[in-house]
Amino acid sequence: MSYKDIQTNASTKALEEFRTYTQDKDTPDRVVEHYRDMRTYQTVEFYERMEKKYSFENGTYRKLMTIEEAFVELENYVDASDPDLDLPNLLHLLQTAEGIRKAQHPDWLQLTGLLHDMGKIMFLWGDANDGQDGYSPNGKQWALGGDTFVVGCRIPDDAVVFPEFNTLNPDMHDARYNTTCGMYEPHCGLDALKFAWGHDEYMYRMLVANNCKLPREALDMIRYHSAYPWHDKGAYTHLMKEEDKERMKWVQLFNKFDLYTKDGENELRGEKMKELWPYYQGLLEKYGLSGKLKW
């Protein structure tokens, strides 16, 4: 499958109108605090701890439930890291999926839009210490959402929001991790990198564990859509393989819809959402994600 086979019809609204992150009156305090915590606690040690906690190895999982049941759990979740969006996460997922559908992109890409943020379901098993508290009104969510950066190497000041928080990260004072390559080999490739733990990595692993039939491009979109320092700012090129350049284009295509459907009219509530569900249920069945799944 070639990226050139699909052309984006996403809105051309300027990217700068979204994702405004500055420590001033225009950025909610919750967002500033979220990124301060994220930069402070997202380390190699934390990633490895979450990797064990949310492992699917040897048939382990935390709960069996359908995608629809997981949506019910997510109905009241609002992303504390997003300065643009105060809508329930479920509504954002439907907006993204419907935006992709309206642009007449393939059904697997539509389903990717519906699923891409569902990894935030981790709040069911997390707590404030893990940065996964989705139950409290102002719960700590620094390991659920937010822009992800590579742990285990120097955090690039020119590619992350709130770079002034970089020095708060313990790994940036550890000689093993605070160099340009850190614990990685040059051009080791995208899949060798450990991005800050969050919903992206969890959902990718969940889909693989359930043997879904989505193409690799969809899995990349889900796994790396929050890696803005990489796909938006061009960081980590010294760690990429040549093939990763093509993979980046797919993630960039997806993110145009992830961003630009946020400003659509709020018309996907109540009965309209119920009307849409049979269509997406059919896609779940087509791509091996119907019935009870391991979470």
pLDDT at residue 13, as a whole number: 45
pLDDT at residue 15, as a whole number: 44
Binding-site positions for substrate read: 19, 79-81, 120, 146-147, 225-226
Binding-site positions for Fe cation read: 92, 116-117, 199, 225, 258
- Cβ contacts of residue 236 below 8 Å, gap of 6+? 150, 156, 193, 229, 230
> What is the DSSP code (8-state) at residue 191?
G
What value, to the nearest 5°, has the Cα angle with vertex 212 and ends 63 and 91? 70
pLDDT at residue 17, as a whole number: 47
Residues of the chain with pLDDT > 90: what percent? 72
Average pLDDT, the chain: 88
> Tens of pLDDT along 123-142?
999 999 999 987 776 789 99
> Tens of pLDDT along 218-246?
999 999 999 999 999 999 999 999 999 99
pLDDT at residue 54, as a whole number: 98
pLDDT at residue 8, as a whole number: 52
Binding-site positions read: 19, 79-81, 92, 116-117, 120, 146-147, 199, 225-226, 258
For the cut 60, the answer to whether the pLDDT of residue 3 exceeds it is no
> Tens of pLDDT along 12-39?
444 444 445 556 557 888 889 999 999 9
Return d(Cα 107, Cα 119) in angstroms, integer: 20
For the cut 80, the answer to whether the pLDDT of residue 265 exceeds it is no
Q: Which of 62-76, 182-196, 212-226 has the lowest mean pLDDT?
A: 62-76
Query: For residue 30, with 0-12 CB atoms within 10 Å meaning exposed, 13-18 middle and 19 or more buried, which class applies?
Result: middle
For the cut 80, the answer to whether the pLDDT of residue 262 exceeds it is no
